[in-house]
């Protein structure tokens, strides 16, 4: 996964800012916990075992519009193995 992150972030120490197991399901808590963080990676595993997420280059906020820059992306692990990454330009790896 770090292959897809911007070079200046690849080797930083990351902090777990939010976890459903630790922090619960509240969107208010999610936004409160992440309000001071830029450059966040979110990983989700749904009830069917599908793993997906995204990398965000800006602080999280409630918005009806997209935000971020060309470094932002979303991803999925197909069949739990093959990583597919999708950038805002529509190009995938």
Cα separation, 23 vs 26, whole angstroms: 8
Strands (E), the chain: 40-45, 51-56, 73-78, 82-87
pLDDT digits (tens, 9 = 90+) for 45-84: 888 888 999 988 888 887 888 777 778 888 898 766 788 8
Cα separation, 34 vs 18, whole angstroms: 7
pLDDT digits (tens, 9 = 90+) for 1-20: 567 777 777 777 888 999 99
- Check whether 40 has a pLDDT greater than 60: yes
- At 89, the pLDDT band (50, 70, 90 cuts) reads low
Q: Are 65 and 44 in contact (CB under 8 A)?
A: no
């Amino acid at each position: 996964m770090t292959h897809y992150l911007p070079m200046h972030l690849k080797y930083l120490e990351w902090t777990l800012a939010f976890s459903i197991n630790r922090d619960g399901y509240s969107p208010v808590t999610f936004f409160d916990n992440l309000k001071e963080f830029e450059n966040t990676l979110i990983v989700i595993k749904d009830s069917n075992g599908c793993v997906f997420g995204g990398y965000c280059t800006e602080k999280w906020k409630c918005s009806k519009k997209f935000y971020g820059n060309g470094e932002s992306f979303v991803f999925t692990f197909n069949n739990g193995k093959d990583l597919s990454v999708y950038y805002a330009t529509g190009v995938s790896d």
